[in-house]
Amino acid sequence: MLLSDKVVIVSGIGPGLGQELAQSAVREGARVVLAARTESYLEEVDQELRAKGAETLVVPTDISEREQCDALVEKTLSRFGRVDCLINSAYTPGQMGLFESSDLDDWRLPLEVNLFGSLGLTQAAVAPMKEQGGGSVVFVNTMVQKKPLPTQGAYATSKGALTAAARQLARELGPHGIRVNSIYMGWMWGPPVEQYVNGAAKAQGVEPAEVIAGITQDIPIGSIPDDSDCANAVIFLASDHARAITGAGLDCNGGEWMP
């Protein structure tokens, strides 16, 4: 198993990729710390994982609050004694809108959560990783910062800044045995995208299959990647199977974006 006996923190547990990341980590042998703002959903996922025999810890956390990031890491250390992997999946899409009509104050929230929140949690995890001789950090990023979409400027900008930060961290933390990588998600089939497809189909007066066909025409593999498959790619980067990889960015979008 890729994460046998590892302690993994996953931020942003929610329907779709977040819960799949937790499930994949457990399946690969990890003890998993579940973090997100919505405690009720954390508990729901936790019950599912415990029913499979998993060792878990639930820590409701708003990563935009540094004190809560510190508390998350402290509780992890208190329970499990170490932090081997940190998967930064928590995010907010922010306010959608065209740049020329946007209030730039609305751009601050994605920066606070997606950039500074993820960096604050990473900073909290660095000390125990250094003390134990290493670890891995994965930033879940987005194809949108490479293939721009109108109205998503705030989100893309926050994630673009995170890309630059991840490379900087990889360079600085590498000598301490800490690897830092990014993964760029495109369309992922799961509850959020299914909801979007059904809503778009209703608004357009077409069948969901027609909306899906419009999306997949740009995806070489011919289908929307399942969020569980995308989670598996994250787990690979977090694991020792990727111990020669740091400062990298993996595109995980079915080939929709090819540099």
Tens digit of each residue's pLDDT, the chain (259 residues):
899 999 999 999 999 999 999 999 999 999 999 999 999 999 999 999 999 999 999 999 999 999 999 999 999 999 999 999 999 999 999 988 999 999 999 999 999 999 999 999 999 999 999 999 999 999 999 999 999 999 999 999 999 999 999 999 999 999 999 999 999 999 999 999 999 999 999 999 999 999 999 999 999 999 999 999 999 999 999 999 999 999 999 999 999 999 8
**Residue 31, strand partner residues:** 7
Q: How many domains is the chain built from?
A: 2
Considering only CA atoms, which of 17, 1, 13 is closest in space to residue 56? 13
Do residues 201 and 234 share a domain? no
Alpha-carbon span 141 to 47, nearest angstrom? 28
pLDDT of residue 237: 98
Do residues 207 and 88 share a domain? no
CATH number for the domain including 136?
Answer: 3.40.50.720
DSSP state of 115: I
Whether 259 is in a domain gets the answer no
Q: Considering Cα of 178, then 240, then 252, then 207, what sign does the dihedral take?
A: negative
Whether 18 is in a domain gets the answer yes
pLDDT of residue 68: 98
pLDDT of residue 227: 96
Q: For the chain, what is the total number of helices (H) and then of strands (E)? A: 9, 7
Alpha-carbon span 161 to 111, nearest angstrom? 9
Q: List Cβ neighbours of 67 (8 Å cut-off, separation of 6 or more).
A: none
CA distance to 8, 16, 22, 40, 88, per residue, from 57 (Å): 10, 20, 11, 14, 16
Do residues 115 and 15 share a domain? yes
The residue segments making up the domain with residue 207 are: 189-224
Do residues 113 and 19 share a domain? yes
Do residues 90 and 138 share a domain? yes
Alpha-carbon span 230 to 186, nearest angstrom? 9
Whether 2 is in a domain gets the answer no
pLDDT of residue 225: 97
Do residues 231 and 215 share a domain? no
pLDDT of residue 259: 84
Whether 258 is in a domain gets the answer no
Whether 151 is in a domain gets the answer yes
Whether 1 is in a domain gets the answer no
Q: How wide is the angle at C-alpha 224 spanned by C-alphas 248 and 48, nearest 5°?
A: 85
